[in-house]
Amino acid sequence: LARTEVREAEEPFKKGNQGSSAMPHKRNPHESERLSGLARLLRGYAVTASENVALWHERDISHSSTERVIFPDACIVLDFMLGEISELIENLVIYPERMLANLNLTGGLVFSQRVLLALVDGGLDRQVAYKLVQKHALAAWDEGGPSFRDRLVADPDVASILDAAAVDALLDYEDQLV
């Protein structure tokens, strides 16, 4: 979400922060990257803990050497991560206008599955519906011109099952944001 071309959300860029060493315009998500790395460490501890399940001779002490390391360290790491992620979420910079622009970027193509399922629910064979929706989606994406919505509404096979209002409802992302 913080990539330059997406820019829907980003970590706060504080005075004195340095961005990418190669791309001066880029603000690296340092906190998120650190949390991602620490999450790998915690998942690794889970592997060690699962290896401790197998015991010899009515619970020997082969597991205790690892437990003495992973349990306290996991608690400390997790505590640190929770503090960091709380601060990150509290200060996250959100760009709702970019989110809206990105949602509108595909002209409704991201809802092609919803259209497909509505056509199938309306009685059209799934393979036929798939090819029909794919034809209009690819044409709208590759050729430009009429939008995905306009192509669907103009198609008699689609119109026999879905009127313009139904197509508009299927391409409306508002109910997906609940």
In tens, the pLDDT along 87-113 reads 999 999 999 999 888 888 888 899 999
Residues of the chain with CATH 1.20.200.10: 9-101
Torsion 137-140-142-143 (CA) sign: positive
Residues of the chain with CATH 1.10.40.30: 106-176
Span 34-42, mean pLDDT? 97
Mean pLDDT of all residues in the chain?
A: 90
CATH class of 106-176: mainly alpha
DSSP characters over 70-133: HHHHHHHHHHHHHHHHHHHHHH-EE-HHHHHHHHHTTTTGGGHHHHHHHHHHTT--HHHHHHHH
CATH no. of 9-101? 1.20.200.10
Region at 78 (left for phi over 0; alpha for psi -120 to 50; beta for the rest): alpha
Q: Over the range 78-101, which residues count as b (16 or more CB within 10 Å of their CB) and which as e?
A: eeebeeeeeebeeeeeebeeebee
Enter the pTM of the model: 0.66
